[in-house]
């Protein structure tokens, strides 16, 4: 069973943190599923990932293409593990279950610290996942760098 990492975003934009985490996941040899809740939000992330810094290409695609199963990083709204990912990154309050955590090496939940609904949703997910016996860590960038603030 993989650990669930909660990332409370307050300093950097979502795309920057996502880029960093996806890069680390790919370096670990994992495929990644970026799970969102609305297609338009994922399309914006897709476009932003293509515009990353020179030399930081992240191979990825949007769900619904001919080569979804071959994508190292697949952005989509479905919970199905189409690209055989070992890591799920949930954005825009996408749901993550204890079953997701059990099937993955890692689950990352990224949420906007200035969005009250996103914070409330992350708290509900923390309680549900830790209540189901899933190992979880809470990371904050409040100080300007990522620090682990809690673990269950």
pLDDT at 70: 96
pLDDT in tens, the chain (152 residues): 679 999 999 999 999 999 999 999 999 999 999 999 999 999 999 999 888 777 778 889 999 989 999 999 999 999 899 999 999 999 999 999 999 999 999 999 999 999 999 999 999 999 999 999 999 999 999 898 999 999 99
pLDDT at 2: 79
Q: Return the CATH number of the domain spanning residue range 3-151.
A: 3.40.50.10110
pLDDT at 42: 96
User: Which pTM does this prediction carry?
Assistant: 0.94
In SS3 terms, the chain reads as CCEEEEEEECCCCHHHHHHHHHHHHHHCCCCEEEECCCHHHHHHHHHHHHCCCCCCCCCCEECCCCCHHHCCEEEECCCCCCCCCCEEEECCCCCCCHHHHHHCCEEEEEEECCCHHHHHHHHHHHHHHHHCCCCEEEEECCCCCCEEEEEC
């Amino acid at each position: 069973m993989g650990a669930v990492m909660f990332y409370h975003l307050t300093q950097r934009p979502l795309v920057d943190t996502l880029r960093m985490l996806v890069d680390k996941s790919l370096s670990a040899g994992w495929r990644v599923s970026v799970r969102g809740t609305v297609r338009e939000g994922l399309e914006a992330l897709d476009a932003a990932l293509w515009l990353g810094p020179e030399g930081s290409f992240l191979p990825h695609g949007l769900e619904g293409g001919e080569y979804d199963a071959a994508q190292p990083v697949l952005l989509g709204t479905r919970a199905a593990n189409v690209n055989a990912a070992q890591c799920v990154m949930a954005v825009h309050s996408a749901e993550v279950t204890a079953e997701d955590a059990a099937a993955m090496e890692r689950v990352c939940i990224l949420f906007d610290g200035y969005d009250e609904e996103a914070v409330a949703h992350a708290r509900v997910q923390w309680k549900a996942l830790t209540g189901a016996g899933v190992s979880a860590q809470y990371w904050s960038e409040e100080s300007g760098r990522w620090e682990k603030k809690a673990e269950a």
